[in-house]
Structure 1
Amino acid sequence: MPKMERGPVGWIWCVIRWDSMVEMSAGRFSPVRRVRGRSGQGSRVVGPRIPTMGVAGVGSAADVRGRHEWSGQGPWRRRLSPSDKRDRETLEVIAERGRTRVGGVTQREGNRILRRTLEQRGVEQALEVVNWLQQREWKPNLISFSILLAKVARSIPAGPRLSPQEKLKHAGLATQIFDRMVTAKIDADVILYNSLISVYARLGDTMTAVEILRRLEKTGLQPNCRSYNTVLSAFASFSTASLEEALAIFKEMNERGIEPNVVTYSTLIDICGQRGDVRICFEVFSSMRKAGVRPNILTYGSLIHSCARNGYLDAAEGLLDKLESRELASVQCYTSMIHGFTKFNKLNKAFEIFQRMCERGISPNIRTYTVLIDGAAKAGDVNLAFQLFSSLRRAGLEPNEITYSTLLHAGGRSRYLDQAFEAFEEARKVGKLPEERATFLGLVDAFGKAGDTDRALSVFQGARTAGVSIDEPMMTSLIGACSRGNEFQLVWDIFEQMKLNGLQPGKATYMALLAACANAGELVRACMVFDEMKRSGLPDEVAYNALLIACGKARDLNAAVNIFDDMKKSGIKLSLKSYASLLHAMSDKCRDRRGCKGELSASQSFGGTG
């Protein structure tokens, strides 16, 4: 057995006999460093050590493993306490549907299990853990429900990017947790109410957030600064409340004797900037200084952003110079300044700020590049936008959904369709397709005009994968793309699928169908589409002209004359384009005197005499 000896004060180490190397080679020992004692002095490697936990005379490592369970590896190995083992066993029980029993769970242990489940498996699984523990006579307390609500709030991503279904899911979880707390006859405190306010603030439901604040006041509890800051943050993140409402919340806060902090003032400056009132931004900043609250980088960042977005570029640049002189300028301040210059079509000035930023050793982030890409696209320099996209990849940054959306929107409005499609395929591969319908609509339309039906269909499929709502304009653009690509069977398949999905065809859809019929030379189908259009009360001079062009391409002069007569009977004012369409049909007929013998006359289909 290894011999345990004590050295200087504060040290414990193992002197291993060389004959124990045989045991080590069999896997009973592990080579580790000497144990650091309470004195905190350094140590050196002396050979294999058994995990003695500071107790001399313990047997081999195999003996220790036989009596205790261990967690971690190397110097971080520690013996699991009974509560740790119980946590682990409880989670295994939940995963394996109650195969092992755990009894005697204390209040503290139950909350520890709840925290671990929230970290590993989410809120829904944690609620199942609560149910399981309650069956074993464990009762959740106020801390338990506060932990659950705080996790729901943290799981909601910032910004207005949630779908209605996701919003309902998070709101439903918060309501379920609060109702269970009420059922358990547990009185909520300010911390729990703040978590509940935070849930609805992150969801953008500012009205419900204010209602919960009022409910907090009615219960006799005193709201704190965080309660009001959370409501104001909802006003800043979502433009659903007016500036007057935000100022009223701020005034109420002062009347209650709650001192605003730097977060309060910074958020209020941001709200004023979003509503376009820079004068009030500086008034809030001045009152902040008078109240003795010292502004920080967050405050200056909000002030620069408010000035830059509203065109006060000189004032914003002056604030940035002040921060630079104090070595306080951050990447957010520079990005806000760049965004202001790109918004007002001063791309050269934006790149000057970008250069200043890089010279000071501040690395641009993904938002900085996204703002520059958007500015280049708005200036019409799409090639520069794609160059910036390549630069951010070389800088080791990963594009997000907003970056891809900005780049694809720019590519769809230009001739750089190959690069746009490469970016689209990359976004689909990494699972970062944007959720904006306008981006996909622009790409489908762009590829359709280029006659690239395959890419248009690929983008359409990507929109469905990203969960974008497929509406009538999207289907119409796809019909136009297939028509230009001479995929006429796909045109009718898409139209039938559109009606099966309950989408009502509009005027643009019928016009796209008429153009497809004209390109295919299918006058009979064109007349059927026109009849359906007439039943919907949609035809006008443009529709009649499209039908006249279809008659010309089908070499059916009789149908063209009948349609022209029907135009006059319907009271549609004839323009020069209408006569031009009729002449076009007559000239096509003159080129081919064979007419439409052997086929069903389209004029009969339309109701003419033939």
Structure 2
Amino acid sequence: MGEVMRVSVSVVINANGFNLQHKPCSPTSSNRKIGFRLSQKCLVSMWLPNLLLPRKAKSLTLQNTVAGVQSGLVCEEEEEDKLIRNQGYGDDAAFVKQKLPPWGELEFDKDLDVEPEVVIQSKSNLNRKATLNVDRVGYLEEMDEETLSKRILVLSRTNKTRSALELFTSMELSGLLPNLHACNSLLSCLLRNGLLDDGLRVFEFMKRKKLTTGHSYSLVLKAVSVVEGCDSAIEMFLAMEEESEARDAFDTIVYNTMISICGQVKNWRETERLWRSIKDNDHAGTRVTYCLLVSIFVRCGQHELALDAYDEMIQNNFEPGDDTMHAIIGACSKDGKWDIALNIFDNMLNSGLKPNPVAFNALINSLGKAGEVELAFKVYNIMKSLGHSPDTYTWNALLGALYRANRHGEALKLYETIKTSQGCQLNSHLYNTALMSCSKLGLWDKALKLLWQLEASGQSVSTASYNLVIGACERARKPEVALQVYEHMVHQKCTADTFTYLSLIRGCIWGSLWDEVEEILNCAAPDASLYNAVIQGMCLRGKTELAKKLYAKMRESGLQPDGKTRAMMLQNLQRRKKKPRPSRYKTSNKFSYYRS
């Protein structure tokens, strides 16, 4: 329902134009009154009939508003008040100026009984800039649409937002239509200055007049994502897709804009849908499209989709940039597809591109995990030839490659090279990789030295590092040293885990340190794996009686032995000494003669 509103207007007519001002009327009067005063400047005061203005928001009450119009874009309030006082109207001429709300499409019909429609914008978000308060429009002496459109274009390019919007509103009220270029320029000006509400009003005007292009949609969607968030922009785009006219106006740039917006919130599902929509709507992706797709899919961990986008990019004869190639190399390296990564790496070198250290490290690590040690070191040599300095990631990848290839001696030699190289900071990963090689070779003395160096470096020593040293002592059959390392570990307030106790137990069993084995079991929390290891070790060492006692204790504690433990216990039970059976045949004394 509309709301009845009374509007009064006073018009000050000048030689070069006229001024419109609002004067409130008596709410009880329903007559029309027009007064003329002849002079150089004529003041006309009139009461207009009741106007019905519809409301589009329940909680918003429209104010009585009119436009102040003159030949320029800015009205001089002081000159108007002085003019009124000189005409001698006194209190009756005390005009009250009121401000217009943000303009919607305001159309005046010839029949004043028809209510004009005012579009009311929704409430601005808190993080938007305030809407421009365009409370007056200009009287247009120039009525040529192209000339006025050029003026809007110049004002928009120079960021004269208020003047550009006032001129646009003046053309709108005068029934003039700015051209497409001017509308897009004004839209861009408003949005880049944070005036989203005004920009959306201009955008709605362009939609009604069918002036929108893909550039218009891209501007609005990007602005909404910045002001209201990416999710709001995605919702707006989905709503636009339901409109056939909007969907027909979409071009590849619009889809690229939305793909970029989805990438900001890592929405790879919507990104994939947009990728498919480009094909379904008979659009062709650009180089930017595929670069965005590869980057987003890699960041979201969707490496298969990233490879598909990269393949399609190559098929469409687009040249991938170094960022795209770096992303694909990283994706292939993580998925173990070192051959594809190496092929892309070669293409970069052949194209004159210089892979960055991250790509080198990813490729070296992938080759090392695949057991391609020689290729890994070839890539490392290329890295040095291009001027890149190896970092801790590079060294750790090379050490890991040698360790996986069971080339532990070479790994320790490389570690010594790394330690003596300048500018390389040894971290715990490098220490642990070297300790792993020491553990495999049983170099307990070398492992101890590395442990002391790690502690002296001030870095935190993990339980895994102590376990590796204890493991080296176990392999070297040095249980006493292993127990000393364990005591030092406890003194350093480092918590032992199951692997620590298992390694100690195995070493003590082979060293026949049975008291220490029992002490370790008592110190550790009840664990079936520890009891299984002790029982099996005792059986192998011939300590069956101790194994039986420990097996009974294990069952009493509610722990379940594994299959190997049960099998060994059954085997030992069958070996019990049994009483000798009497012989079936008794030897007669008469044959004792032959025995003698």
- State TM-score, norm by structure 1: 0.45
Q: Which has the higher helix share?
A: 1
Which of structures 1 and 2 has the bigger CA Rg? 2
Using CA pairs under 8 Å that are at least 6 residues apart, name the structure with larger relative contact order, 1 or 2. Answer: 2
- State TM-score, norm by structure 2: 0.46
